[in-house]
Amino acid sequence: MNVCFIMYPWDQIDPENDSTLALIKECAKRGHGLAMCTPANLTIRNSVTNAFCTVLNRMEKVPSSLRAFYKKADLREEMLPLAGFDAIFFRANPPLDPIMLNFLDSVKDDVFIINSLEGMREANNKLYTAAFGDAHSNIIPATHVSKNKRYLIRQIKESKADKMILKPLNGYGGSGVILIEKSAMSNINSLLDFYITNSDGSSNYVILQDYIEGADQGDIRILLLNGEPIGAMKRVPGSDDHRSNVSAGGSVQKHNLTKTEKALCKQIGPKLVNDGLYFVGIDVIGGKLVEVNVMSPGGITYMNKVYKPKVKIEEKVIDFLESKVLDKLQAFDRRARLRKTVEDA
Ligand SMILES: Nc1ncnc2c1ncn2[C@@H]1O[C@H](COP(=O)(O)OP(=O)(O)O)[C@@H](O)[C@H]1O
Ligand SMILES: [Mg+2]
Q: pLDDT (tens digit, 9 = 90+) per residue, 192-228? A: 999 999 999 999 999 999 999 999 999 999 999 999 9
Q: Of 44, 51, 64, 61, which is closest to residue 6 (Cα–Cα)?
A: 51
Cα–Cα dist 112/116, whole Å: 8
Question: What is the chain's Cα-based Rg?
Answer: 22
pLDDT tens-digit series, residues 138-165: 899 999 999 999 999 999 999 888 999 9
Nearest residue to 292 via CA among 158, 206, 172, 183? 172
219 CA → ligand 2 middle, Å = 9
- The DSSP call for residue 203 is B
Distance 220 CA to ligand 2 centre (A): 10
pLDDT value for 62: 97
Q: What is the pLDDT of residue 254?
A: 94
Q: What percent of the chain has pLDDT over 70?
A: 100
What CATH class is the domain 2-115+316-325? alpha beta
Ligand 1 pocket: which of 283, 293, 296 to mutate (most atoms within 8 A of CB): 283
Instruction: Report whether CATH 3.40.50.970 matches the domain 216-294.
Output: no
What single-letter amino acid sits at 291? E
Give Cα separations from 106 to 62, 80, 82, 98, 110 (angstroms).
Answer: 34, 15, 9, 13, 9
Instruction: Check: CB of residue 244 under 8 Å from CB of residue 177.
Output: no
What is the average per-residue pLDDT within 229-247? Answer: 94
* DSSP-derived 3-state class of residue 198: coil
Interatomic CA distance for residues 339 and 345, integer angstroms: 10
Q: At the top level of CATH, which class does the domain 142-210 belong to?
A: alpha beta
| Exposed/middle/buried for residue 180 (C-beta within 10 Å: 0-12, 13-18, 19+) | buried
Number of separate helices (H) and strands (E) present in the chain = 10, 16
Residue 133 has pLDDT above 90, yes or no: no
Closest CA to 18 of 247, 292, 257: 247
The structural domains of the chain, with segments of one domain joined by +, span 2-115+316-325, 142-210, 216-294
> Using an 8 Å Cβ cutoff, are 230 and 223 in contact?
yes
Calpha distance 332→109 (Å, rounded): 11
Pocket of ligand 1 (CB under 6 A): 141, 165, 167, 171-175, 177, 209, 211-212, 215, 219, 243-245, 283, 285, 290-291
Residue 233 phi/psi, 5-degree rounding, is -155, 160
Asked whether the predicted pLDDT for residue 135 surpasses 80, the reply is no
DSSP state of 91: E
Domains 2-115+316-325 and 216-294 equal at CATH topology level: no
